[in-house]
Amino acid sequence: MPELQRLRADHAPALLAFERANRAFFAATVPDRGDDYFTGFAARHEALLAEQAAGTCHFHLLVAEDSGEVLGRFNLVDVADGAADLGFRLAESATGRGLATSTVRRLFTLCSTTYALTTLRAAATVTNTASRAVLTRTGFAPTGEEVLLSGKRGLAYLRELSTVKP
């Protein structure tokens, strides 16, 4: 089973490879990160680690046991007052196996036991049916609020964690 790991400095090469290999796949349903993301990756990675050290974000990678390949990333951002925004993306080669659903559920335990979070917010573009299905399967409820995600129409979701059972 793939391992959920907290983002570290030594993850940078594998994470960059994951983002490059899946760029076109991601761009089909989520806003593209743009060329600057890749050219400035090292500085961006350091900035993420600094945010994580400050406690304002918690970044995680889903890593294959055998190869160390990054299969996905699961981020908790804008942490404040017991709440955070969840974002995730899974490699094209890892889709269709329930990994996103099981990893989001694993995150619930971390949120409650390690990060003292009680509420998660999420959003997905209307065209991203896979992410919206993961959110629904893991107990996120649509808020009815429409959001713009880099100019693309999206839907907002909310998940209270007080009832999460490990």
In this predicted model, what pLDDT tens digit does every residue of 114-126 receive, in sequence order?
Answer: 999 999 999 999 9
Count of the separate structural domains present in the chain? 1
- pTM of the full predicted structure? 0.92
Give me the domain span that covers residue 79: 3-160
Alpha-carbon torsion, ordered 150, 130, 47, 121, to 10 deg: 80
Q: What is the pLDDT of residue 133?
A: 97
Number of helices followed by number of strands (H, E) in the chain = 6, 7
The residue with tokens 């290999």 is 21
Does residue 139 form part of some domain?
yes
Q: Considering the domain boundaries, does residue 81 fall inside one?
A: yes
Query: Residues 62-73: pLDDT tens digits?
Result: 999 999 999 999
Q: What is the CATH number of the domain that holds 97?
A: 3.40.630.30
- Domain annotation covers residue 166: no
Asked, for residue 165, whether it belongs to a domain, the answer is no
Of 56, 69, 94, 51, nearest in space to 5 by CA: 69
pLDDT in single tens digits along all 166 residues of the chain: 899 999 999 999 999 999 999 999 998 887 788 999 999 999 999 999 999 999 999 999 999 999 999 999 999 999 999 999 999 999 999 999 999 999 999 999 999 999 999 999 999 999 999 999 999 999 999 999 999 988 889 999 999 997 544 4
